Each structure stands twice: as C-alpha cells, then as structure tokens.
Structure 1
Amino acid sequence: MTPIVGLGIYSNNNNNGMPTPVTEGNRHDSHNDDANDKNDSNEVIYIDDDDNDDNHHDESRYSPRCSGRNHQQHLQQHVDDSPIIERSRRRRERLQRYRRPTAQEKERAIRKALKKPMDDDAVTIRYRSKAQGEALGRIMDGGFNVLTVVLPTAGGKTLLFTAPACLEEDVGVTIVVVPFRKLIDETVREAQKTVGDCEEWSHSTVDPAALVVVSVDKMHDHFWSYARQMAEQGRLRRVVVDECHLLVTSHSWRPHLVELEKLKSLGVPMVMLTATLPRYMEVELRRSLGIGIGMMSLIRACTVRENITYTVRQDIGKGKLVEETARVCEEVADELRSTRKEKAVVYCRSKKDCEEMAEKLGCGFFYAGHVDGGETLEQWKANGGFIVSTTALSTGLNYEAVKAVIHSGLPYGLIEFAQASGRAGRDPNERVDSIVLLEQGWEEEEQGTRERYNEALGPDGAAMMEYIKTEGCRRLVLGKYFDAAETIQECHDSSSSGSDNNNSETESETNCSNGGSRQHHAPKLRATGVVVEWWQQVQSWSGSPSWKRRWSKRL
C-alpha cells in the first residue's frame, strides 16, 4: 500500500515555514484555519469557537465566584447576538458540516484525476511541487474561507479542482469561474477526460455535474439563483476562481467585481488560482474581493521555469523589427518537428501588427473579436507551426508541444510576459525558448508613449524594464518580482558553463539565463542605464490607477 507520506498531503505544523508530510500518526493534527476535530470514526465534532455555550453562560452568570465578570459577559452576549457575528457563525457552521475525505478516498480521487491505476501500489503519486500537494490537501479537506494558490505556469493548477471532483463519496458540486469564454471549452474538454462529470453552466442546468464551469461574463441573475440553490441544498462544496490575478490587473474584469464579491455570500470555501501574483498584489487581491484581514490563506510555489531559455535582443535597426522577427522565426522553424506537430507563438502589441506579421510569416493570426480566430486557432493546434497573436492567447490556455514564444516588441509588463512565456514547455522535461526582440531606441520610444498618454511606469512595467536591461540572471529578476523571498534561488556565474547561458543539466547551472546557445541569441547584454529598482517604488505606485490603464489595451 502506498504510504500516506507519498500522497503529498502536508501539515502546516512545520519548522521555518516548511510543511511536513502527514502520516497516520499525525493526520488529524494537520493545521487548518477553521478546522474541526474528529473522533475515531471520522465524524465531525463541531467546535464552538467562542467557547460560550448556554450552560457556560448560565454557570458564569449565577456563580458567586464569577459575579465580578457579569457585566463583561452581559456585554459580550450582546456582541454575540449581533447580525454580523451571527452571519459569521452561520458561515463557520456551513464550512464545518461536511465530512472530510479519508486518506484512502483522497488517494483514489487523485489517482483518477491523474489517470493513474486505481489499485496499483507500485505506481506512486508525485506532485509537481510540494505546494501543489499542500494546496490539494487543504482544498479536499475544506474548512477554510479563502485560499489563494500560486503555482508556476504548467504547475498543475487544474488538478486542484479536478481531483476533489473525483471523490467517490459526498463529492458535491465544484463551480469553476474562468475569465474568458475561450477558456470554457478547453477547461470542460480537459476535465471530462478525467472527471467525466463536467459541464458548462447554462440556463438549463438543473441537475448539476460534479464540476460546473462558468465564465465571469455569465454570472448574472440566473446563475446566482442556481448557485444559491446548490448552497442551500448543501450540494455546493467550493468555488474556484481561475487566473485570479486578473481581478487586479485587467480592466475587463472590473465590471464583474461586484458579481465576484457575491461568491462570499454562498458560504463555501473559495479557491483563487494563478501563476502570476506579485507579492505586492496580495493585498490588492484581498481588497478586490472585499475579504477581511486574516480571512485569506496563501500557498506559494517558486514560479521559476528552469526549462525555459530566456533571450533578449535590443540591437535591431529602426524599422527592421518585422523583418528580423521573420528571420528568427525561420531559425525556430528549422527546429520544429512536424511529426510532433510542434508549435511556436509570435506575440505582437496590436491587432494591426498581428495581421502584418502573419502576412510576412504566411501563417494565421488570432486576437479578440477576430471572426475567424477560433478556426485559425484550431488549425494551429491540429497542425502545428506558427501563429501570431495579441495577448489574447497569453493567459490560461494550455497547448502541447509549444517550443518557442517570441515577443516582437516590448511586452506590456512582466505579468503578461510571464503568462505568455508560460505557454511554452508544458512538459517540464523539454527545453524551450522565450525570445524578446526590440529595435534600437525602444526605451526612448516607450517613455514617449507614456508621456503622451500621461501614464506612470508602474511596478509591473518597471520590472519588465529591469528584465530587459539586466546584465545578470533573468530568472532572478522574475523570481524577485513574483516569488516569496525565501524561495528565490541564487543566480550562478555564467562563466562556469563557458557560454552566455547556463543551460547544461547540472543543478548548479540551470538557475541562470541571460543570452543563449542559438546563433540568433544576442551576446551578453550591455545595460544602457541604471536598472530600475521597482520594489522600492511599489508602495507609491500600487495605489495609483494610472499604471493599470494599459491592461485594457492588450486584447
């Protein structure tokens, strides 16, 4: 029998913040913010958090020894009877009333979601990160208010809502909220391969599947009637919001914030998923959802993608960007294997640039609102090769065998860049490329654009500038922006590998990337100015709306 330690279910009783595996001996001791106690038969034992049941009040009120506390307890009783406290108490009761699955039930559900043999002990469950296993354990146990999980692109976020939907007993309903319509079909299609019982929400949904997917633009009166009915019937187990960073960064989500805030009223655990949540945005995310201090837990994994080679060129002549991008694509095309239908994506800053680049490359293009975009996308997925897109293809979509991501022009910010680069290398064992191509004088042009539209650079733009201009490790720049300080890996000197890019398979060299091994990769970059120290300016920028305006121009 596979030991429970191998399941990757972790306890928060830890040393120095590191979770420890749960065994049979300490399984019931794992920390959970709103956890219940259980007896030996795994039945829920409700805990009165206020420790003030009726008998306790009666004894303290009439006991001579407690007479000095009567006035204080009388005031406390009035506080406990307030509507706010009562709503909080009802919410805790809803969070606590479901039986937690046993370790064996969890294992069977995870095996089903991973398409592993159900009863073959020789096949063990391996997570992509310790954080993934810890988050999955918390989600399947429930009993929390809001849990935000940050895993890298290709870090296995889908498993966090498919595995709970594969439980064999008391599975209930999981609602998954996705940001864009184009994500629904893919999410449902992939989930049906493992969960089976998965559907897109519609007005006709009556007897729901275990996994119900809805786009944020469909969360209107009919949806809320359905969601509240599921909650009142005790069938709704959790709500998952995918790509939750868009709550802070995307103007297209702003009109839907009021609808998303209503999720709290359902009284079930909320799970927020993303691959790109800079540390300074944690507070903004909590405030966007109207969540009080201490009500949101956070699990982070290191988001560094060691299988991606990062390259920047900023020496292209004026007016030569399209021509040079086409030349680089020719070199990439020589490495794409048609037998595997390998792919590459070229990102442009505008729809007009997309059409021009696609004509130059002789391939299809995709952007929001393009009438033939869906058909073009399906052809690219089926046949491989190149596609040109705006950032409409940068978030949430998972495609196999993407070997290269090329930015023709400056990305809007480091969040968009990380999302777009993350479309490549979904298989962690294959090496892929992320390439940024810039014309000479790009920095002056970018500054002029900001001044013309009266836009501040903002922390995300400043981090992008640092990524472009650094002479050091680009992974270190990404890690400093996105990850917790204790997870940032130290950069290693590139001289040890004899090239500008440390891409050998030795552990000491895979952390650094600046330059590359292909002929089209630039030599070690020479910075033309002082690298922006964005972190020192976050507090002054993060409260200003001006730096967020550009997100609305991406699609």
Structure 2
Amino acid sequence: QKTALYAVVQGVSLLIVVLPTGGGKTLLPVAAAVLDDAAQQKSGKPSVTILVVPFRALIKDMLVRLHNAGVKAVEWQPGAEGDYQNRRTSASIVLVSADYVGKQSGQFLSYAALLARQGVLRRVVIDECHVAITADSWQTALRRLKDVRLLPCQQVLLTATLPPSQESQLRKTMLMPGATVLRAETTQRLGARYAVVRCQQHAEVRAMAVRLARTLIDEARYLPCTAQPPLQEIESAAKGIIYCRSKVLCEELADTLGCSFYYANMETSREEVLETWQQSGGLIVSTSALGIGIDIPRVLFTLHIERPWSMVDFVQESGRMRAEGKST
C-alpha cells in the first residue's frame, strides 16, 4: 500500500494496483486527493480526482464515509440539470458509476475533458477494474471504461481480484499495454475460514442452506462489536450474505428466510435495500451483484449455494466479510 500510494502521489500513470480485499485500495485516491488539497491551499490551484466505481449502488455509502472523514466529494450526474451541478462543484473527489460512464460516455468525457482543459483534473481512478473483463451482464457498458484513456491525466486501476493470468487481458481491454503493475505478495485474507458442506442429493441443498444460514446469523448476533461511537449504532448489527446464481432462487430463498433479496435490475431501489440491511442487519440473499465493491461493516459470514460462477467471483464475494480484525 505504501509503495502504491507513493506511485499515485508522484503521478505514475497507467498504473494497475492489486491489493487484497480490505487492504486499503480506496485509501489511495482519497489520500492523494487530500494531499492535493493541502498543496492547493498553498498554490491556489484546485485539483480534482475522478473515482469510477462499478455500480451506482456503491456511491451513497462511499459518499457518507468520505464526508464523515472530512473529504469533499460529490457524485457526477448525467443530464442537463446534473451537468449544471457538475460544473459548479468544488469537490476534490468526483464519484461516478461505471454504468453511467458506459451509457453516457459522451457527456461524461465532455465534463472530464473540460476539467482537463481548466487544468484541474489530476487523475482518473477506476476501482474494481477487473469488472471490465469479468462482468458478463455489464460488458457493453463497463467495457466502455477504456474511453477514459482519452483523458490527458494520470490513470490508475485498482482491484483485489486480478490473477496474473488475466493481466494481459485487462491491459488489452483498457488500452494500457505499458501499464506498471504493483501487486501485493498475496491477496489472501488471512482471517478468513472456509468450509464446504456436501449434500447427498441435490434436493437437500436448499434446505441445508436455510438451516445453516439461520444457525450462523443466530450465532453472529452474540458476537461483540468493537466499533466506537458514533459508528457503533450503525455497525453493531451482525449480517450475513447468501449468494446464489439466479434471481428466481434469490427471491424464493429470501421468502423462506424472511429477509431481503438483491440483484441487478430490481423493481425496488437497490440503494434502499442496502441501506435498510446495513442498519437493521440480519440476512440478505443476492446474486453476484452484491459481490463487487460493497464495504459494509459486520458482515460476519457469506454462504454460497452451489458453486460460484468462477473462483474470481468466489474470492470477490467472500471478500465482503468484515469482522473488525477477527476471523470470519
């Protein structure tokens, strides 16, 4: 992390950073923006970091965390009214969802190019960049991320799940053949424990998953929370995620367990579902849509029904566990 932060602050461009989940990837652009702000106070020249995250559902939580840390941040909004607000912002970090970049790439690039012409665009950082080569259901939109290469500024890609075997594919997709790669020695989560439960018959899988989920969440509720006020009230509720491969199974399991479900293109607001779950805790059933970039405290276990789509998906989804340094 230290080496990566130095590289970002020093302006190394076409940079790919691979750090473990929970290893402080998001801190890199935030710390760099804070240092830019400190320099701005001396020079009087503003500086903007654009941070691209995979999905809009991630932005609200990130904005809250940045504001609580005293960092000026806003969300980029498409449309005429949004464009007016975008141009008036004085924030040092502008958050934008990758699906917006894909669907509204012309408007977004015009906005970013304006910042560049004004001399205030310091860098563009793409978090969870592996999504550009792994998210099948979002390929058309997310693979337009390569358009940011047109911007004359520092370019940084962040991820926790980029196997060395996929490096060349990411370089090609993102038009970064000469990118510098900074990779942690291991991205293994040392505090995580894994177990496999085998069922004799396929029909037993769902019943076993329901029993196990109920047992785990009941046990998790008795584990102490180490968060300090004012975060204690928000983060104290124990949580667990059940992952499955279909939307239909998501809804059926959620109905059986009496909890919420989460997947792409839901009729209800995904932001509202996440906010309610974060505050009240308990179980949630999801597809891989909840496997990328969600940083919610006190997720004490994840449970996969049947095999995940890939090992990359499994690592990403099991990486949602957060237990204040304890084993999960």
Choose 234-243 or 250-259, whichever is displaced more.
250-259
SS of alignment partner, residue 276 of structure 1:
coil
Which of the numbers 233, 248, 251 marks the counterpart of 2:118?
233
Corresponding position of 1:319: 203
Q: Tell me the equivalent position of 1:102.
A: none
Which consecutive unaligned segments of at least 5 residues does structure 1 have?
1-131, 433-555
Instruction: Give the aligned partner of residue 201 of structure 1.
Output: 76
| Aligned residue among 380, 390, 396 for 2:277 | 380
Report if the CA contact (8 A) 1:165-1:210 is conserved: yes
Aligned residues: 297
Q: Which consecutive segments of 4 or more residues in structure 1 shift more than 4 A?
A: none
SS for the counterpart of 1:169 is helix
| Contact 1:165 1:195 (8 Å CA) reproduced | no
Higher relative contact order (CA 8 A, sep 6+): 2
Unaligned ranges ≥5, structure 2: 41-45, 78-82, 225-235
Partner Cα separation in structure 2 for residue 251 and residue 367 of structure 1? 14
Contact 2:50 2:124 in 1 (8 A): yes
Q: Which SS does the other structure have where 1:214 is aligned?
A: strand
CA contact (8 A) 1:257 1:288 kept: no
User: Against the structure 1 CA distance between its residues 260 and 374, is the aligned structure 2 distance closer, same or farther, given a 3 Å change threshold?
Assistant: closer
Q: CA offsets, 1:476-529, max 9 Å, x none? A: xxxxxxxxxxxxxxxxxxxxxxxxxxxxxxxxxxxxxxxxxxxxxxxxxxxxxx
Equivalent pairs: percent with the same residue? Answer: 39
Which whole-Å CA distance do the structure 2 matches of 1:381 and 1:260 have between them?
Answer: 29
Where do residues 151-300 of structure 1 align in structure 2 (5 Å cutoff)? Answer: 151-167=19-35, 168-170=38-40, 172-202=47-77, 203-204=83-84, 205-208=86-89, 209-219=91-101, 220-256=105-141, 259-292=144-177, 295-300=178-183
User: Taking structure 1 as reference, are residues 348 and 257 closer, same or farther at Cα in structure 2, changes over 3 Å only?
Assistant: closer
> How many angstroms apart in 1 are the aligned matches of 2:282 and 2:315?
22
- Other-structure match for 1:347: 243
Shift of 1:426: 5.2
1:344·1:386 contact (CA, 8 Å) conserved in 2? yes
Task: Confirm or deny: 8 A CA contact 1:172 1:237 kept in the other structure.
Answer: yes
1:304 corresponding residue in structure 2: 188
Q: CA RMSD in A?
A: 1.7
Please report the TM-score for the alignment, with normalisation by the length of structure 1: 0.52
2:135 counterpart of 1:135: no
- Taking the TM superposition and a 5 Å limit, the aligned residue runs for 1:381-460 are 381-425=278-322, 427=324, 429-432=325-328
Query: Residue 186 of structure 1 aligns to which amino acid in structure 2?
Result: D
CA distance in 2, matches of 1:192, 1:318: 48
- 1:313 partner SS: coil
Shift of 1:236: 0.7
Select the structure of larger CA radius of gyration. Answer: 1
CA distance in 1, matches of 2:201, 2:137: 35
Superposed CA deviations along residues 415-469 of structure 1, whole A, max 9, x for unmatched, are 1101110011353x2111xxxxxxxxxxxxxxxxxxxxxxxxxxxxxxxxxxxxx
The CA deviation at 1:216 is: 2.0
- TM-score relative to the length of structure 2: 0.86
